[in-house]
Amino acid sequence: MKTRFFWLMTISVMVFLALSSIQGYLIYNTYTLKRNAFIDQTRDQILKIDYNQELDTIVDFWGEELKNQIADYKNQRITKKELLYRIQLKANTLNDKYYQIYKRELKNKKLDYALNYKKNIKSIVIFGKENDTLFPLKKDDSFRLFGADFPNDKANSVSVSRTFSQFDYIDQTGSEITTQQYNLEVKAQDIMQIIDEKSIVFKQMAGLLIGSIIIFLAMVGLFYYSLKTLIKQKKVNAIKTDFINNITHELKTPLATLGVATKGLKVKEIQDNPEALKHSLTIIDRQNDRIQKLIDQVMSNSLNAENIPLQRTQVLARPYLEEVLEDFKMGLQHQKLNLTTDLFPKKVFLRLDKFYFTTALFNLLDNAVKYSEALVEIRIKTRVDRNQFIIAIQDHGMGISKKAQKNLFDKFYRVPQGDVYQQKGLGLGLYYTQQIVKAHYGEVSVESELGQGSTFLIKIPLDR
């Protein structure tokens, strides 16, 4: 049974985890698709801006500068480094105008989100007998030609362009002046950065996300509820089995005695002997009473607070309790009992049903005796605190573990003590006591330490 439960649990947890992962995976996939679609859509808009006459003119200006600088470079008037520095400088001076136009065009697109844009140069190569790479000097380097300044890694590519052109320049390196030709390849990349890209995509997915969270929470809730019900069911089953065992045990002795006594009635000698006959009948009667009492106990002690027919009257607390304790002591004449009291001295009236309330007190007092060693020490203390009358019944018995305290007032619950119960009982006393106290609008609780004794507290409101 235990292993079946374990497997059921393990499989449920695994299914739950699998479902959660699938859902997580689907959400991630949707996010990726939505993000890509969003980026594509933005890219389309940017591409439209890129085809602009004014911008092209600025780029051409820069191209001219590049050409001039290459001529100087070819004539060995400047180094490669200087060339790069100069064309970057030129780009910087042109950028103000470029970016202004760009921003204006972007504004006209009326996008409802912000974005940054830039055009990067990826490579500049002069083709000839030997190719001469002007840029990049190291791998994956790039520089911003126009646009905003932002890191490349947090951005998306819009387009990559490659322009190939042929130029002439006047070569003065030798003794004579000649016109030389070179082929130039410039690779550029347009890059955009959507501000708050993630949150925009998440906003687009809000419905799906909220739906998923609700479904997930519902799943967790259902899972938790099923688990709780299952565990509770298991507990109830164990408690029921315990109860059946206990009641069977309780019935066994009187039934066995009844059996012996009724068999005796069939014996001729007993039938002929009026004394023996009377004795057997008395036994039968007594055992019958015992069984009847047991059944009555189960029937009445199973009542809950709403079904207890109270008839409350004004009762003066102190004399009433003294009377109850006197009766209790009388019933335990042959047991060693040390009962001390510390009763609230002032006159306090309680609205009690004396019959039921006495039963509740007797249950607690009986338990204090039942679950103590041979010498029973009980202390009864009463006090008034915040309009409540508090009765504390303290014993120095075996005590109750914190774990057992959680279920102590449950119907049929008995603290497990190995496989055998040292004390007889049906686990109804505390349940019934709690129901009676509840019917008086009060509450009962326990403070206990295993091996250190227990204190049961009854609190009754004085104004109800």
Q: What is the binding site for ligand ADP (CB under 6 A)? A: 363, 367-368, 370-371, 395, 397-400, 408, 413-415, 425-431, 454
At closest approach, how far in Å is the CB of 447 from ligand ADP? 11
Question: What is the C-alpha to C-alpha distance for residues 108 and 39, in angstroms, rounded to an integer?
Answer: 19
At closest approach, how far in Å is the CB of 246 from ligand ADP? 8
Tokens of 290: 């015992």
In the DSSP assignment, the letter for residue 321 is H
Nearer to ligand ADP, 351 or 370 (CB): 370
Nearer to ligand ADP, 277 or 339 (CB): 339
- Closest chain position to ligand ADP (CB): 425
Nearer to ligand ADP, 181 or 248 (CB): 248
Nearer to ligand ADP, 277 or 450 (CB): 450
Nearer to ligand ADP, 91 or 408 (CB): 408
Query: Residues 106, 108, 109, CA angle at the centre, nearest 5°?
Result: 65
Nearer to ligand ADP, 69 or 454 (CB): 454
Contact 264, 270 (CB under 8 A): yes
Nearer to ligand ADP, 94 or 408 (CB): 408
At closest approach, how far in Å is the CB of 409 from ligand ADP? 8
Question: What is the C-alpha to C-alpha distance for residues 161 and 55, in angstroms, rounded to an integer?
Answer: 15
At closest approach, how far in Å is the CB of 380 from ligand ADP? 13
Taking 3-state DSSP, the helix, strand and coil percentages for the chain, each rounded to the nearest 5, stand at 55, 25, 20
Which residues are bridge partners to 385 per DSSP?
A: 388
In the DSSP assignment, the letter for residue 139 is T
Q: Which residues contact 420 (CB under 8 A, 6 or more apart)?
A: none
Q: Which residues contact 415 (CB under 8 A, 6 or more apart)?
A: 400, 401, 404, 408
At closest approach, how far in Å is the CB of 426 from ligand ADP? 5
Q: Which residues contact 226 (CB under 8 A, 6 or more apart)?
A: 12
What does 297-316 look like in DSSP terms, one character per residue? Answer: HHHHHT--GGG-----EEEE
Nearer to ligand ADP, 121 or 415 (CB): 415
What does 171-182 look like in DSSP terms, one character per residue? Answer: E-SSSS-EEEEE
Contact 247, 424 (CB under 8 A): no
Tokens of 70: 């290459």
Question: What is the C-alpha to C-alpha distance for residues 135 and 142, in angstroms, rounded to an integer?
Answer: 8
Q: Can you list the positions of beta strands (E) in 288-416?
A: 313-316, 337-342, 349-352, 376-385, 388-395
At closest approach, how far in Å is the CB of 393 from ligand ADP? 8
Contact 446, 455 (CB under 8 A): yes
At closest approach, how far in Å is the CB of 21 from ligand ADP? 45
Query: Residues 50, 56, 57, CA angle at the centre, nearest 5°?
Result: 155
- Give the residue among 443, 416, 413 at the shortest CA–CA distance from 430: 413
Nearer to ligand ADP, 244 or 281 (CB): 244
Q: Provide the H-helix boundaries in 151-205.
A: 197-204
Tokens of 256: 């066995």
At closest approach, how far in Å is the CB of 425 from ligand ADP? 2
Nearer to ligand ADP, 280 or 363 (CB): 363
At closest approach, how far in Å is the CB of 256 from ligand ADP? 21
At closest approach, how far in Å is the CB of 394 from ligand ADP? 9
At closest approach, how far in Å is the CB of 441 from ligand ADP? 21
- Which amino acid type is present at position 357? F
Nearer to ligand ADP, 208 or 294 (CB): 294
- Which amino acid type is present at position 125? V
